[in-house]
Amino acid sequence: MFEDTRPADLDGSDHSDAWRDFRVTHPVERVALLRQLRDCNVPVMLSAPGGVGLATCLWAYDSTQEKLNFSADANDPRMSDLVEAEEVTAVSYLDSVKLQFDLHGLVLVRGHGASALQSALPREIYRFQRRSAYRVRPLERHAPLARLRHPSIPDMTLALRVLDVSIGGCALWLPHDVPELQPGTRIAEAQVQLDAATQFTAALLLQHVSATLPGERGVRLGCEWQALGSPAHHALQRWIDQAQKRRRLLQLD
C-alpha cells in the first residue's frame, strides 16, 4: 500500500523553476528509474481528474518505440475513463523516493488473452524524497560540518561532524570532551555546510543521544530539522538527490 498515492500539485508554479530540483530529465536516469519499476514489479497508481484511480504495474518498457505498457483489465470500466481523460498521472514509490510522471497518448491495447495500457515514454520524472527516509552517510574524510553554539554554554562554539543526513534530520558526532547534551534540547541556529556549494542555516531538535562503536570516544546526536525554510529545504533536497544519483549511476556501471 502507498503512504500517499496522490500526485503532487505541480500546476501552481512554473515547472522550470519551482520544481527544477525534483525533475529527472537525463535519459540514463529516467530509464534506470523506469526499469526499476518494471523489474521490481512495483505498484503504480494512475490518477485522472474527477477521482478516477487505478492501481497497476509497469510490465514492459519499449526503448525502440519509446512506449510504456502497464498491466490492464480490458473489462474494467475505469479503463475508458483513463483513456479519455485529458490528464493522467502515474505515482509510485522506490524505497524512500516518491516518483511522479505524466502519461501521454494513453491507449488500451488488446491482445490474445491479455491487455495493456500503453503510453508514450515520459520526458521527465519528478522525484520527491519521503520524510525520514533515505539517509546519506558521507565519507569521513569529506564529512560535512555543523557549526553551532553549545545550548548550555553560549560562549562555546562547536564544529561537529555530520554523520548522516536525511530530509528529516541529521546525526552529529559529539566528542567526549564536550559537555553533554540532553534529548529534547533545541538548538536555535546551526550553520550546516554539506559541501562547498551547499550551506544553510537551520534550527535543530535533539531527539536522542546514543553510543557509537566500542572504543570510539563520543556520542551520536540524532537531530530533527525544525522549521526548515524553502531555500534550505531545496538545497538539502538537491544535495540528497545528487548523492542518490551518484549511487544509481555507480550501480549501472
Q: Cα(171)–Cα(192) distance, rounded to whole angstroms?
A: 12
Mean pLDDT of 212-228: 79
> What are the grid coordinates assigned to 242, written together?
545528487
Evaluate if residue 3 carries a pLDDT over 50. Answer: no
Task: Report which listed range, 62-66, 100-104, 238-242, is most confident.
Answer: 100-104
pTM above 0.95, yes or no: no
Identify the residue whose cell numbers are 495500457. 117
The domain ranges of the chain are: 20-129, 140-252
Flag whether pLDDT at 62 surpasses 60: yes
Query: Do 20-129 and 140-252 show the same overall fold?
Result: no
Q: Determine whether domain 140-252 maps to CATH 3.40.605.10.
A: no
Domain made up of 20-129: CATH architecture = Roll (2.30)
- On average, the pLDDT of the chain sits at 83
131-173: pLDDT as tens digits: 545 678 776 667 899 999 999 999 999 999 998 898 889 999 9
pLDDT tens digit sequence for 18-35: 677 688 888 888 888 899
Residue 247 has pLDDT above 60, yes or no: yes
What pLDDT was estimated at residue 204? 95
Name 45's bridge partners: 55, 91
* Res 76: pLDDT: 86
DSSP 190-233: EEEEEETTEEEEEEEEEEEEEE-STT--EEEEEEEEES--HHHH
Measuring CA to CA, which residue among 93, 46, 99 is closest to residue 69? 46
Picking from 21, 36, 17, 26, the residue whose alpha carbon sits closest to that of residue 242 is 21
DSSP-derived 3-state class of residue 158 = strand
